Structure 1
Amino acid sequence: MNFQDLPFDSAAILAGLKPWVLCESPTYDPSAVNRMMDLAAYELAALGAEIERIPGRMGFGGSLRARLPHKDRGKPGILLSGHLDTVHPVGTLATLPFRVEGNKAYGPGIQDMKGGNYVCLEALRQIVKAGWETPLPVTVLFTPDEEVGTPSTRDLIEMEARRNKYVLVPEPAKPDGGCVTGRYAIARFNLRSVGRPSHAGWALKDGRSAIALMAKKLLEVEAMTTEDCTFSVGVIHAGQWVNCVSSECVGEALSMAKRQADLDKGVEAMLALSDDSGDVVFEVTRGVTRPVWEPDAGTMALYEITRTIAGEIGFDLPHGSAGGGSDGNFTGALGIPTIDSIGVRGAGLHTLNEHIEIDSLAERAKLAAGLFLRLT
């Protein structure tokens, strides 16, 4: 069973990936995410997988768990863990249409991370068509909320990971084409300022603006950034009538650190910004957190296998820790051998320039097939 003998073709893979990209699936639109789960469920059912649809909660879409046929099904094996939600709202295709330009294919979510998920299913498809059985049973778990920190499915991912020997996370490859063997810690925070409403025309002095305080605090938050721990505010919502002094403003902040101790200090500093002593109240509450994932011997052994397979295909596979959390934070932090960012090459994720390099489709499908066939 030599994975190099499997007939991977980038053009054919792109044709299969296109319907996934055309199915827009932003995190906050559970119906859209569920439609994307339908497409993936069909692909996996065609492989003979046992399909389980897991209802969503907390206002998010549902998850999809599929177990491939195997004589040892139920025993520890390989977990393919990916998300099918994207940051792009429905309608993004109007400004970021699916299109091909030379070796690049564009579209919302094509890099993060529909491309990586799809090439792994293509690897399984070619293995099944060849009549081969992987040494270990394979489970696929697709979730709906990674782009907002995985608040509704972390337990599901962690429990499934504990049932397996290895976790593969096909997030986009790093800019140098490398993979990820560790990730920084990330914490999210909910911000809220509460002021006093008044008419902005004839009673301006009677009001206390929640927006004004949030703007002041935003600058304070971002000024806390150091080399060890970063802070940013990415979401602000307030106001409805311009002739009213705003009574409430809400926001969301994010902090990232390479070491858990630095993140813990950052969390303490953020929570200390809460203040109810003045006319306008400012509240900081903690949101979801991704733990630091530091590579251990198991992950590094998995990396060496992955690097060897990449070399046989004909490309280098550097590795390292990375910012930008993923669900690999959870499985790696549990001590389960995890290899992350083995998905497609490309650039522009989370922007209107998101694209993949088409020739990486066959390359990364071969890499996934090598892992499915070589891990024992």
Structure 2
Amino acid sequence: MTSWKDLAFDTDAIIDGLKPWIECESPTWDAAAVNRMMDIVAVDCANLGAYIERIPGSMGFGGSVRARFPHPDMDKPGIMVSGHFDTVHPIGTLAQNPFRREDGKVYGPGIQDMKGGNFITLTAMKALLDAGIQTKLPVTFLFTPDEEVGTPSTRTLIETEGKRAKYVLCPEPALPDNGVCTGRYAIARFRITATGKPSHAGARLKDGVSAVRELAKRIIEIEEMTSDSCTFSCNNISSGQWVNCVPSFAAADCLSMSKTQADLDAGVEKMLALSGERNGVTLKVERTFTRPIWEDGQPETMALYEKAKAISAEVGLDMPHASQGGGADTNFTGALRIASLCDLGLWGNGLHTLTEHIEADMIVPRTRIMAGLLATLD
């Protein structure tokens, strides 16, 4: 009888199959681009015999794809594979970081975070189906469009699907040395707006109060609140376009990462306390989206981790684990105490940059580990 251990995977074939996914650029804020990517994914899943649901987007984001694979026990809790297809890279990044294989690395926007991990998971599922290996549990893939901005439109969808599952597998980028993630820090996002007083910057400079100047000072102060347990980072800064006007409006987004619930609560309190007037400028701080703490060491997650570690050992690799910063959709499922394992995707470097890549020699081992998980979890 064929076992998952007998499956053959080919690095070159996987890289060739990944190419159209990488060359379909899909930045979060471009709903049409994300939907084009979801079209490709839906067809690939349908070609494997999955039942496809296209879930319309909301809040200006693209839609989602849910693919349920036929199984005798489809009505029972099974395996949920959770992944996102949006990236941080704007349309045109492909020209700067084209899909290519060089010196043992495979490059392209979104290849590590997380199209590569999604692709090897689907490749593992295909290999099981082609070999006639029935998974012990029903398998559902849920692909979403807005993870890179905090999952504002699909959090409820992920949580709802997660509650139907016994296990959640998330192929976000691997940790070093074949590592996986068994917990994640919380992430809180904030919108900061500053309101000053306008004037002509040439003829009446002293009549105005610059919102930009005050916001710049506040950003420095915010980022200097960073500690080992709670970090603060600001970006997406905007204001008026006329340099001959003293700016009466400025805005920025802030992201805070916390290791514990107490750290999260304290960081939120510090940020919200910044609201008020100073130097003639009114500052307003609003909390937008939060990824909850997924506490490390939960028994249900560690039991799942031990299963993955044993499969990895059969592949010939150790599998360390860690709690990790950087948000993922397992923040939601882990916080609900659903057995979740993250960072099951591909190892590489340069994620969110113009050098984003994966290591080619880890493609097959990680695909084999995923096949083992899908085949043996019960």
Aligned to 2:182: 181
- How many Å apart are 1:16 and its aligned residue? 0.3
- Percent identity over the alignment is 60
Bigger mean CA deviation after superposition, 194-203 or 81-90? 194-203
Contact 1:68 1:138 in 2 (8 A): yes
Q: Is the 2:4–2:133 contact (alpha carbons within 8 Å) kept by the matching residues of 1? A: no
CA contact (8 A) 1:185 1:256 kept: yes
Moved more, 44-53 or 235-244: 235-244
Partner of 2:359: 357
Aligned to 2:374: 372
How far apart are residue 234 of structure 1 and its match?
2.1
DSSP-derived class of the 2:245 partner? coil
> 1:257 aligned to 2:271?
no
TM superposition shift of 1:14: 0.5
Partner deviation per Cα, 1:91-128 (whole Å, 9 max, x = no partner): 00111111110210000000000000000000011111
CA distance, structure 2, for counterparts of residue 279 and residue 345 of structure 1: 49
Q: Deviations over 1:224-278 (max 9, x none)?
A: 1122211111221112011111111110001111101111011001000001365
Match of 1:298 in 2: 300
Give the 3 Å change call, closer, same or farther, for CA 277–95 of structure 1 in structure 2.
closer
Partner in structure 2 of residue 146 of structure 1: 147
* 2:339 is aligned with 1:337: yes
1:205-230 deviations in Å (ceiling 9; x for gaps): 11111100110100110111122211
CA distance in 2, matches of 1:145, 1:219: 28
Q: Offset at 1:363?
A: 1.2
Pair 1:321-2:323 in alignment: yes
Question: More deviation in 273-282 or 321-330?
Answer: 273-282
Partner of 2:158: 157
Q: Secondary structure at the match of 2:41?
A: helix
Deviations 1:167-198 (A, max 9, x none): 00000001332000000111010010011111
Contact 1:175-1:347 at 8 Å conserved across structures: no
1:8 aligns with 2:9: yes
The 1:176–1:238 alpha-carbon spacing in structure 2 relative to 1, beyond 3 Å, is: farther
- Please give the per-residue CA displacement for 1:41-66, whole angstroms capped at 9, x wherever unaligned: 01100111000000000010000001
Residue 95 of structure 2 aligns with an amino acid whose one-letter code is: A
How does 1:1-376 map onto structure 2 within 5 Å?
1-276=2-277, 279-294=280-295, 295-376=297-378
How many residues are treated as equivalent by the alignment? 376
Contact 2:214–2:279 (CA under 8 A) maintained in structure 1: no
**What one-letter code is carried by the residue in structure 1 that aligns with 2:103?**
G
Q: Deviations over 1:135-166 (max 9, x none)?
A: 00000000000000100000000000000100
| Contact 2:3-2:133 within 8 A present in 1 as well | no
Instruction: Output the amino acid matched with 1:296.
Output: Q
Gaps of 5+ in 2: none
- Contact conserved, 2:11 with 2:363, CA < 8 A, in 1? yes
Cα distance in structure 2, aligned partners of 1:339 and 1:120: 13
The DSSP-based 3-state class of the residue aligned with 1:53 is strand
- Which shows bigger deviation, 352-361 or 277-286? 277-286
Alpha-carbon distance between aligned partners in 1 of 2:7 and 2:79, rounded to the nearest angstrom? 20
What TM-score does the superposition give when structure 1 sets the normalisation length?
0.99
Tell me how far 1:279 sits from its aligned partner: 2.3
Cα separation, 2, equivalents of 1:223 and 1:130: 56
Q: What displacement does 1:301 show?
A: 0.5
Amino acid at match of 2:169: L
- The residue matched to 2:276 in structure 1 has which SS? coil
Q: Is the 8 A contact 1:8 1:362 kept in 2?
A: yes
Describe the SS at the equivalent of 1:276.
strand
- TM-superposition CA deviations, 1:62-98 (whole Å, max 9, x none): 0000100111112100000000000000000111111
Please give the TM-score of this superposition, normalised by the length of structure 2: 0.98
In 1, distance between residues paired with 2:208 and 2:182?
A: 52
CA distance in 2, matches of 1:87, 1:221: 23
- Structure 1: how far apart are the matches of 2:261 and 2:177? 26
Which has the larger displacement, 153-162 or 270-279?
270-279
Residue identity in the other structure for 1:275: G
**CA deviation digits over 1:278-312, x for unaligned, max 9?**
52111100010011111311100000000010110
Answer yes or no: is the 8 Å Cα contact 2:28–2:149 preserved in 1.
yes
Contact 1:149–1:288 under 8 Å retained in 2:
yes
Give, in whole Å, the separation in 1 of the partners of 2:266 and 2:181: 25
Structure 2 letter corresponding to 1:334: L
Alignment partners' CA distance in 1, 2:329 and 2:116: 17
